Amino acid sequence: MTVPPVDILPKHWEIVCGILQKHVPEYEVWALVRALKALPNTIPT
């Protein structure tokens, strides 16, 4: 199993793969992930 070039720990990737194999083994799963960081002074209070 190869860990994809994203920010995920190998042990977490194994968990994700296990969940996908259990629930949707017959499909190829693709995901588009976009994480945004809020700057400290842009967070509403």
pLDDT in tens, 6-26: 778 889 889 999 999 999 999
17 DSSP assignment: H
Residue 32's pLDDT band, with cuts at 50, 70 and 90, is low
For the chain, the 3-state helix, strand and coil shares in percent, each to the nearest 5, are 40, 0, 60
Q: Is 20 exposed, middle or buried (0-12, 13-18, 19+ CB in 10 A)?
A: middle
What pLDDT score was predicted for residue 30? 82
What pLDDT score was predicted for residue 35? 63
Mean pLDDT score across all residues of the chain = 78
Coil, helix or strand at residue 2: coil
CA torsion, points 8, 14, 15, 16, in degrees to nearest 10? 70
